[in-house]
C-alpha cells in the first residue's frame, strides 16, 4: 500500500518534490521556481508565502503528474536552503518581514563588530561557526531591531522565528508545530552544538528572546501528520540541504566525505559522535540527530567552482554549454602550463583572503581556449583537494574515498582529475538528487519504510567510480604549479 517516500527539497531558487520508491530510485519529481527579491545591493529576500506555496504546489503537481496517490505515500522528509530565516506572528501566522536569505550581507557590519569585540572564540566554541552574516542569528536580530512592533510581539510571546524547515512545518501543520532539527539549528549561531540546545548566553548577546525559537527535534522521527487529500502522512525527516546530501550519500561513518560540485563546492566530512574543531578555517556543524544521538561534520566550501565554467562560457564565450567543457579539456594533453585561479570573490579555506582576485597564469602564444577550459576544471579539483587536506589534518581521519554530486559532477574529466590529484576513489552515485534522497532516507528510517542505515547504504548504486591513475610525482608537480598560481592571485 505504502510505496513511496516523498522529499520536499526547498532550495534557494526553486522548491522540488521528489518521490522515491523502496529501492531509493526517484520515480517522479516536480520543480517550482519562485522570485528572488533584491531590495538593495547585497540584500537578498524571499516572500515567505512563495516559499510555502511553491513547495506545496510542487507536491500537488507531483501527485497530479505521476498519478501517485496521497495514500501511497509512507512519509515525507523535508530538506531546505540553510540559514535563511522567517519571523512570524504566532496568533495570525503572518510573517512580519520577508525571509532574509543566507546570501544576504545586510548584517556584515554587525558581524565585524562582534569580531572586533573579541566574540569569535566564544561563538566558535559554542556553535562551531565563525561570526558571519551568512548565519541566521544576526538576520533575526535585524528583524527584531528594524521591523516596527516585532520586539513588542516577542515580549508578549507572540512571535516565532525559524529557518525554512520550521516555517514549512508551521504552515503544513496549520500552526500546530514549531520545530527544527539540530542540523538546521546548528547554522543559526544560537545553538550550542555540544549541549544540543539553544544557548542562553548567545541569545542574550544577540538580543533574541529564547521564546521565539523552535523546539529542536530529531532529524529522523515523526514531527506531525500532514493532511493531504484525506490521507494523513507523517512528516518524519528534517535536514538542511548539505546535511541531507551527506546522509543521501550514505556517509554514515567517521571520515566519510562528500563534495557537491555546483556553483561553489560544499564539502562535508562525517566526524562521528564528537565535534571536531578546526584550526584551518572549517566549520564544525551538526550532521543529524537520530534517536537522541548527535553526529557531527566538518564543513568547508569553495566559493567559486562551477561558476568558473559559467564565466568561461558566458563572459569569455569559449563554449555554448557547460557540458562542452568536458570534450574541450580532453582534446588537449594538458593545460600547456596554464593555471586558472577563479578567485572571483576571494579565496576561502585554507587561505581566507577576501581580497584575492582571479588570475590566469602561464599564457604563451600556443595557449588555446581548450587549455584555459581545462585549467578551469582542474582549478575546481585543486581547490577541493585543498579543503580536504585541511579536513584530514584537523580530524586526523583518513579519507578513503570521496562521494561526488552536484551539476559539475557530470563532468568526467573533472571527476577523473579529482581522483588523480587526491589519490583516492571518487564515487558518483546513479541517483544524483542526493539532497532529496537524504531527506527521504531520514523520513523512511523513522517510519520503518527502511529498517537500518545498512539497508540504506545498500540502496545506493554507483554510476561510476573514478580511480586515481596519475603517478605521485606528477601529482606533486601539478599541485606545486597550482600553489604558485595561488600565490600570485593573493599577491603574497
Q: Is 292 exposed, middle or buried (0-12, 13-18, 19+ CB in 10 A)?
A: exposed
Give the burial string for 139-178 (b: 16+ CB within 10 Å, else e).
bbbbbbeeeeebbebbeeeebbbbbbbbbbbbbbbeeebb
Q: How far from 80 is each of 11, 110, 163, 307, 372, CA to CA, in Å?
A: 6, 26, 9, 22, 35
Stretch that binds ligand ADP, among 119-127, 134-142, 407-415, 422-430 (CB under 6 A): 407-415
**Min dist. Cβ of residue 187 to ligand ADP (A):** 17
Using the minimum distance from each CB to ligand ADP, give the nearer residue, 62 or 415: 415
Rule CB under 6 A: is residue 407 a binding residue for ligand ADP?
yes
Query: Cα 18 to the chain's mean position, in Å?
Result: 18
Q: Identify which of residues 121 and 321 has a Cβ nearer to ligand ADP in the complex.
A: 321
> Is 97 or 413 the residue whose CB approaches ligand ADP more closely?
413
- Using CB under 6 A, pick the residue from 322, 330, 457, 479 that binds ligand ADP: 322
Q: Phi and psi dihedrals of 25, rounded to 5?
A: -90, 135
Please report how close the Cβ of residue 432 comes to ligand ADP at its closest, in angstroms: 9
Q: Is 103 in the site for ligand ADP (CB under 6 A)?
A: no
Q: Does the footprint of ligand ADP cover residue 211 (CB under 6 A)?
A: no
Q: Of 178 and 374, which CB lies nearer to ligand ADP in the complex structure? A: 374
Dist. CA 347–CA 341, nearest whole Å:
9
Q: Does 294 bind ligand ADP (CB under 6 A)?
A: no
Q: Is 225 in the site for ligand ADP (CB under 6 A)?
A: no
CB of 331 to ligand ADP, least distance (A): 14
Q: How far is the CB of 32 from ligand ADP (least distance, A)?
A: 16
How many angstroms from the chain centroid is the CA of residue 192?
Answer: 20
- Touching ligand ADP, residues 242-281 (CB under 6 A): 262-263
Out of 27, 110, 122, 323, the residue judged to bind ligand ADP by CB under 6 A: 323
| Per-residue binder mask for ligand ADP (CB under 6 A), 72-91, x = binder | --------------------
Residues near 128 by beta carbon (within 8 Å), at least 6 away in sequence: 186, 193, 275, 277, 283, 284, 285, 296
Q: Measuring CA to CA, how many Å separate 488 from each of 307, 339, 360, 482, 483?
A: 21, 11, 10, 10, 9
Least distance to ligand ADP, CB of residue 205, Å: 32
Among 411, 418, 434, 447, binds ligand ADP (CB under 6 A): 411
Out of 51, 168, 223, 309, point to the residue binding ligand ADP (CB under 6 A).
309
Smallest gap from Cβ 344 to ligand ADP, in A, equals: 12
Taking the complex as a whole, the smallest distance from the CB of residue 369 to ligand ADP amounts, in Å, to 15
Strands 293-302 vs 265-272: parallel, antiparallel or unpaired: antiparallel
For residue 323, the minimal CB distance to ligand ADP (Å) is 4
Contact call for residue 325 and ligand ADP (CB under 6 A) = yes
Which of residues 183, 248, 406, 429 is near ligand ADP by CB under 6 A?
Answer: 406
Q: Which stretch binds ligand ADP (CB under 6 A): 100-108, 125-133, 193-201, 403-411?
A: 403-411
Burial of 71 (0-12, 13-18, 19+ CB in 10 A): middle
Which residues contribute to the site for ligand ADP (CB under 6 A)? Answer: 262-263, 306-307, 309-310, 322-323, 325-326, 406-408, 410-411
Amino acid at each position: 500500500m505504502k510505496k513511496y517516500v516523498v522529499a520536499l527539497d526547498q532550495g534557494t531558487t526553486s522548491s522540488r518534490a521528489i518521490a522515491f520508491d523502496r529501492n531509493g530510485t526517484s520515480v517522479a519529481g516536480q520543480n517550482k521556481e519562485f522570485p528572488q527579491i533584491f531590495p538593495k545591493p547585497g540584500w537578498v529576500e524571499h516572500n515567505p508565502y512563495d516559499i510555502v506555496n511553491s513547495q506545496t504546489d510542487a507536491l500537488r503537481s507531483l501527485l497530479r503528474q505521476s498519478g501517485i496517490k496521497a495514500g501511497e505515500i509512507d512519509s515525507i522528509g523535508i530538506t531546505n536552503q540553510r540559514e535563511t530565516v522567517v519571523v512570524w506572528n504566532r496568533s495570525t501566522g503572518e510573517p512580519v518581514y520577508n525571509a532574509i536569505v543566507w546570501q544576504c550581507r545586510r548584517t556584515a557590519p554587525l558581524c565585524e563588530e562582534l569580531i572586533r569585540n573579541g566574540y569569535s572564540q566564544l561563538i566558535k566554541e559554542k556553535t562551531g561557526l565563525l561570526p558571519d552574516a551568512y548565519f541566521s542569528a544576526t538576520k533575526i536580530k535585524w528583524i527584531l531591531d528594524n521591523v516596527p512592533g516585532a520586539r513588542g510581539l516577542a515580549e508578549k510571546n507572540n512571535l516565532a522565528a525559524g529557518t525554512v524547515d520550521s516555517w514549512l512545518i508551521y504552515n503544513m501543520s496549520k500552526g500546530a508545530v514549531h520545530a527544527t532539527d539540530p542540523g538546521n539549528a546548528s547554522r543559526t549561531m544560537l545553538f550550542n552544538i555540544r549541549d544540543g540546545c539553544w544557548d542562553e548566553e548567545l541569545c542574550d548577546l544577540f538580543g533574541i528572546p529564547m521564546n521565539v525559537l523552535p523546539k529542536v527535534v530529531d532529524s529522523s522521527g515523526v514531527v506531525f501528520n500532514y493532511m493531504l487529500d484525506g490521507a494523513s502522512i507523517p512528516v518524519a525527516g528534517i535536514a538542511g540541504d548539505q546535511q541531507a546530501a551527506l546522509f543521501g550519500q550514505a556517509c554514515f561513518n567517521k571520515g566519510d566525505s562528500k563534495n557537491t560540485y555546483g556553483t561553489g563546492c560544499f564539502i562535508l566530512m562525517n566526524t562521528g559522535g564528537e565535534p571536531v574543531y578546526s584550526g584551518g578555517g572549517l566549520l564544525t556543524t551538526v550532521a543529524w540527530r537520530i534517536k537522541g544521538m548527535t553526529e557531527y561534520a566538518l564543513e568547508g566550501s569553495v566559493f567559486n567552482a562551477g561558476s568558473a565554467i559559467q564565466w568561461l562560457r558566458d563572459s569569455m564565450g569559449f563554449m555554448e554549454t557547460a557540458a562542452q567543457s568536458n570534450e574541450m579539456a580532453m582534446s588537449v594533453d594538458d593545460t600547456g602550463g596554464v593555471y586558472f585561479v577563479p578567485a572571483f570573490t576571494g579565496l576561502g579555506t585554507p587561505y581566507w583572503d577576501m581580497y584575492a582576485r582571479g588570475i590566469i597564469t602561464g599564457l604563451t602564444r600556443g595557449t588555446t581556449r581548450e587549455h584555459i577550459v581545462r585549467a578551469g576544471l582542474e582549478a575546481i579539483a585543486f581547490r577541493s583537494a585543498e579543503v580536504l587536506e585541511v579536513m584530514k589534518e584537523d580530524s586526523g581521519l583518513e579519507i578513503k574515498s570521496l562521494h561526488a554530486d552536484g551539476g559539475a559532477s557530470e563532468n568526467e574529466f573533472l571527476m577523473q582529475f579529482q581522483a588523480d590529484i587526491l589519490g583516492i576513489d571518487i564515487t558518483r552515485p546513479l541517483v544524483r538528487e542526493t539532497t532529496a534522497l537524504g531527506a527521504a532516507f531520514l523520513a523512511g528510517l523513522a517510519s520503518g519504510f527502511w529498517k537500518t542505515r545498512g539497508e540504506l547504504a545498500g540502496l545506493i548504486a554507483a554510476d561510476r567510480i573514478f580511480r586515481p591513475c596519475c603517478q605521485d610525482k606528477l601529482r606533486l608537480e601539478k599541485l606545486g604549479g597550482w600553489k604558485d598560481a595561488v600565490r600570485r592571485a593573493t599577491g603574497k
